[in-house]
């Protein structure tokens, strides 16, 4: 190849770009690449970065936490300088209800597998220093204008840079010729420019996402704690939080078609955001600070009232934020990582998961190439993993808004979503399956496709259940101020349970064969789980909705594996029933409670749902827009 300035140039020195630079330098010796990899990072902003800088994406979950903590070795710093995260915590039900009356879903104890609330300004400052210490060339105050990609193995890519400002730049990071523009020649180019998406735009890689939601968020200079929203005399609600650590969770206040996050940041800052589905909430209702405060006053009045006395440090919005990608990795030596690749949705805080996954795939491919061993087949397989994982996550969130107000339905959904995440993608990443050769990796790709089909099926069942529930009049005992149906508190995960076991197993090293065998077993459990979702849905919905549920859930079309015996035992005594219920069914029942099917036995409801000749009852309105949901 013609002489290059760098082996890898990373466009963008935010969380994704900096951690990839560090990862490349750290993983290099393991991969036996010699001589030392030359890594350059181009970043617009110059230090000093303010702590608690206003970047959304503070909350990590298992994969992202594993990536920063164990893979990059930043655990000590995370524990000392950032907040440990008490899992994800959800409060379901209309926000106009008192918070103590809404179903709470979350961990009972601090999760054993750690995750963190990251202060982005502080974390990125540390990453910049670590990158420089590791020998990465970090060019601050510069931007990438264009990238000339080479499709020939002998010719380097050319990255054209422009100087933005003269301040805050140390001599150590001065550009090669100190002029206002420069060109770097590099073997690999990585787009880590976040939502600027340099390569996405240049190569027209963007694929629309079926998720159409928008977000608005505030950063405030004080702690806004969820427990401040509940009066002190709500004893059971406060007693449940034995250690007073509820506020360290990423708190979600869930209502029809929306959720509001509360994330504590270091130095007593709090991030508060609104995420709302366009099918339920018009973006113009919350796209300015004043409107967002009014929106909160309508939908989450207790929080709005608490925020009345709080001044906003920053306010940002993001309209229609979701996008996917055609391709993130190419044999022509380019890659897109973090949000420059895709961003599906912030629900469940998956941003750092996709960041860790895309970075680790990029690092593997780059180091393969530097050893002269880049295999086109594995490039395509790993590209498929990332692209399909993004699509699969859109399936998780696309219709989720209809489940948000219903504690037991959203409780069942979180159980499924966590189970699905902890049985496929999380072990895939944490156990390093993406490092395998193409021949060994292929079977995981096939399994991934099975898992995605299962996820689609589960989401259809959940959506049909919630949609029909939203259109059903409440049962006799339910008045607007009654305790929500189902459990007031749903432990996530509950101990002991299969879900809790899968969570703990994430931290235990396993061989690829062991991981594969476990994933195959969990396909079976996934089928059982989906059947349990059907059991709960059919028990919960009025019998006249059974046929319509069958149509909407895919049950009538034969998309769900059904064992009729499971539906027969449902009408027997508890002990008999438990003896023949799969363990995962008992777990789910313990978590979200049991709805008795009352006047019509469950098996009869199942038959109604499976009967393809029976048309959906015409009297039931097809709920599909905000119209039906606003009645809640």
Q: Least separation, in Å, of the C-beta of 110 and other proteins?
A: 4
The maximal CA–CA distance of the chain, rounded, in angstroms, is 82
Residue 560 CA to residue 549 CA, distance in Å, equals 12
Part in contact with other proteins (CB under 8 A); list of ranges 229-237, 284-292, 468-476, 507-515: 229-237
Part in contact with other proteins (CB under 8 A); list of ranges 179-187, 234-242, 345-353, 362-370: 234-242
Binding mask 103-122 for other proteins (x = CB under 8 A): -----xxx-x-x--------
Give the DSSP H/E element, type plus range, for residue 515. helix 512-540
Q: Least separation, in Å, of the C-beta of 54 and other proteins?
A: 23
C-alpha distance from residue 342 to each of 100, 206, 493 (Å)? 37, 8, 29
**Phi (first) and psi of residue 136, to 5 degrees:** -80, 140
Q: Tokens for 95?
A: 């926000």
- Residue 100 or residue 363: which is nearer to other proteins going by CB? 100
- Residue 14 or residue 491: which is nearer to other proteins going by CB? 491
Part in contact with other proteins (CB under 8 A); list of ranges 9-17, 79-87, 413-421, 517-525: 79-87
Tell me if 574 contacts other proteins by CB under 8 A: yes
Give the DSSP H/E element, type plus range, for residue 352. helix 351-370
Q: Which residues pair with 254 in a beta bridge?
A: 92, 259
Give the DSSP letter of residue 71.
I
- The contacts of residue 190 (CB under 8 Å, 6+ apart) are 8, 9, 10, 11, 17, 20, 334, 335, 336, 337, 362, 366
Helix 546-553 vs helix 512-540: crossing angle, to nearest 10: 150
Tell me if 86 contacts other proteins by CB under 8 A: yes
Q: Least separation, in Å, of the C-beta of 356 and other proteins?
A: 19
Which residue in 48, 236, 372, 509 binds other proteins (CB under 8 A)? 236
Q: Which residues pair with 161 in a beta bridge?
A: 144, 182
**Phi (first) and psi of residue 142, to 5 degrees:** -120, 155
- Residue 240 or residue 293: which is nearer to other proteins going by CB? 240
- Residue 238 or residue 291: which is nearer to other proteins going by CB? 238
- Residue 464 or residue 499: which is nearer to other proteins going by CB? 499
Q: Tokens for 77?
A: 């710093």
- Residue 402 or residue 412: which is nearer to other proteins going by CB? 412
Q: How many residues bind other proteins (CB under 8 A)?
A: 32
Q: Least separation, in Å, of the C-beta of 257 and other proteins?
A: 30
Q: For the chain, what is the total number of helices (H) and then of strands (E)? A: 21, 20
- Residue 109 or residue 377: which is nearer to other proteins going by CB? 109
Residue 512 CA to residue 411 CA, distance in Å, equals 32
Tell me if 80 contacts other proteins by CB under 8 A: yes
- Residue 265 or residue 357: which is nearer to other proteins going by CB? 265
Q: Tokens for 186?
A: 């590099």
- Residue 249 or residue 467: which is nearer to other proteins going by CB? 249
Q: Helices (DSSP H) in 134-244: which residue ranges? A: 198-203, 235-239
Residue 504 CA to residue 629 CA, distance in Å, equals 38
Tell me if 594 contacts other proteins by CB under 8 A: yes
Q: Least separation, in Å, of the C-beta of 410 and other proteins?
A: 19
Q: Least separation, in Å, of the C-beta of 468 and other proteins?
A: 25
- The contacts of residue 473 (CB under 8 Å, 6+ apart) are none
DSSP letter string, 537-565: HHHHS-GGGHHHHHHHHSTTTT-S---HH
Q: Least separation, in Å, of the C-beta of 222 and other proteins?
A: 15
Is residue 504 classed exposed, middle or buried when 0-12, 13-18 and 19+ CB atoms within 10 A define those classes?
A: middle
Which residue in 51, 84, 94, 301 binds other proteins (CB under 8 A)? 84
Residue 153 CA to residue 3 CA, distance in Å, equals 13
Tell me if 569 contacts other proteins by CB under 8 A: no
Q: Least separation, in Å, of the C-beta of 505 and other proteins?
A: 16
193 and 340 in contact (C-beta within 8 Å)?
yes
Q: Least separation, in Å, of the C-beta of 294 and other proteins?
A: 32
Q: How many CA atoms lie within 13 A of 37 on its CB side?
A: 33
Part in contact with other proteins (CB under 8 A); list of ranges 211-219, 237-245, 310-318, 357-365: 237-245
- Residue 47 or residue 586: which is nearer to other proteins going by CB? 586
Beta strands in 388-527 (DSSP E): 489-491
Tell me if 240 contacts other proteins by CB under 8 A: yes
Closest CA to 462 of 414, 392, 523: 414
Is residue 489 classed exposed, middle or buried when 0-12, 13-18 and 19+ CB atoms within 10 A define those classes?
A: middle
- Residue 561 or residue 586: which is nearer to other proteins going by CB? 586
- Residue 245 or residue 551: which is nearer to other proteins going by CB? 245
- Residue 165 or residue 579: which is nearer to other proteins going by CB? 579
Which residue in 15, 83, 131, 357 binds other proteins (CB under 8 A)? 83
Part in contact with other proteins (CB under 8 A); list of ranges 82-90, 149-157, 306-314, 365-373: 82-90
- List binders of other proteins among 468-507 (CB under 8 A): 489, 491, 494-496
Q: Which spans of this chain sit near other proteins (rule: CB under 8 A)?
A: 79-80, 83-84, 86, 108-110, 112, 114, 235-240, 242-245, 247-248, 489, 491, 494-496, 574-575, 586, 590, 594
């Amino acid at each position: 190849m013609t002489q290059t300035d760098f082996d890898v140039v990373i466009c963008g020195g935010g969380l994704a770009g900096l951690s990839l630079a560090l990862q490349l330098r750290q993983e290099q010796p393991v991969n036996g690449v010699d001589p030392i990899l030359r890594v350059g990072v181009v970043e617009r902003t110059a230090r000093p970065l303010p702590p608690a800088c206003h970047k959304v994406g503070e909350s990590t979950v298992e994969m992202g936490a594993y990536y920063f903590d164990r893979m990059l070795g930043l655990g000590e710093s995370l524990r000392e300088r950032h907040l440990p995260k008490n899992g994800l915590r959800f409060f379901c039900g209309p926000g106009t209800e008192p918070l103590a009356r809404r179903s709470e879903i979350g961990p009972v104890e601090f999760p054993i597998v750690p995750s963190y609330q990251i202060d982005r300004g502080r974390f990125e400052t540390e990453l910049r220093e670590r990158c420089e210490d590791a020998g990465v060339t970090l060019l601050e105050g510069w931007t990438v204008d264009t990238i000339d990609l080479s499709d020939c193995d002998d010719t380097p890519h050319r990255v054209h840079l422009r100087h933005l400002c003269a301040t805050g730049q140390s001599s150590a990071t001065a550009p090669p010729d100190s002029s206002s523009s420069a060109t770097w020649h590099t073997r690999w180019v990585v787009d880590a420019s976040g939502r600027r998406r340099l390569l996405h735009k240049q190569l027209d890689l963007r694929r629309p996402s079926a998720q159409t939601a928008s977000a608005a968020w505030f950063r405030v200079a004080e702690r806004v704690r969820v427990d401040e929203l509940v009066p002190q005399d709500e004893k059971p609600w406060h007693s449940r939080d034995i250690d007073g650590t509820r506020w360290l969770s990423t708190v979600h206040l869930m209502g029809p078609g929306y959720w509001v996050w509360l994330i504590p940041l270091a130095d007593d800052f709090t991030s508060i955001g609104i995420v709302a589905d366009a099918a339920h909430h018009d973006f113009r209702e919350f796209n300015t600070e004043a409107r967002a405060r009014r929106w909160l006053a309508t939908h989450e009045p207790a929080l709005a009232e608490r925020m009345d006395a709080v001044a906003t440090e920053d306010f940002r919005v993001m309209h229609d934020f979701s996008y996917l990608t055609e391709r993130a990795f190419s044999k022509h030596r380019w890659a897109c990582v973090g949000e420059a690749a895709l961003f599906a949705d912030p629900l469940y805080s998956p941003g750092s998961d996709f960041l860790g996954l895309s970075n680790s795939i990029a690092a593997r491919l780059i180091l393969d190439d530097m050893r002269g061993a880049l295999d086109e087949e594995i490039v395509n397989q790993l590209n498929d993993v990332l692209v399909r994982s993004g699509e699969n996550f859109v399936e998780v969130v696309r219709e989720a808004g209809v489940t948000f107000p219903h504690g037991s339905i959203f409780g069942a959904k979180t159980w499924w979503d966590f189970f699905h995440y902890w049985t496929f993608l999380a072990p895939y990443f944490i156990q390093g399956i993406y490092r395998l050769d193409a021949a060994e990796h292929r079977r995981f790709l096939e399994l991934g496709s099975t898992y995605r089909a299962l996820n689609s099926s589960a989401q259809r069942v959940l959506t049909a259940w919630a949609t029909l529930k939203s259109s059903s009049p409440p049962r006799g005992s339910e008045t607007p101020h009654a305790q929500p149906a189902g459990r007031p508190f749903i432990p996530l995960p509950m101990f002991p349970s299969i879900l809790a076991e899968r969570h703990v197993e994430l931290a235990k090293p396993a061989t690829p064969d062991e991981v594969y065998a476990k994933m195959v077993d969990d396909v079976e459990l996934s089928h059982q789980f989906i059947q349990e979702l059907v059991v709960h849905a059919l028990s919960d919905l009025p019998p006249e909705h059974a046929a319509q549920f069958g149509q909407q859930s895919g049950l009538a079309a034969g998309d769900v594996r059904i064992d009729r015996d499971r539906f027969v035992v449902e009408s027997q005594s508890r002990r008999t029933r438990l003896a023949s219920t799969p363990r995962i069914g008992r777990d789910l029942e313990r978590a979200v409670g049991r709805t008795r099917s009352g006047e019509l036995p469950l098996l009869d409801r199942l038959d109604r749902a499976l009967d393809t000749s029976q048309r959906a009852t015409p009297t039931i309105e097809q709920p599909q827009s905000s119209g039906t949901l606003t009645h809640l």
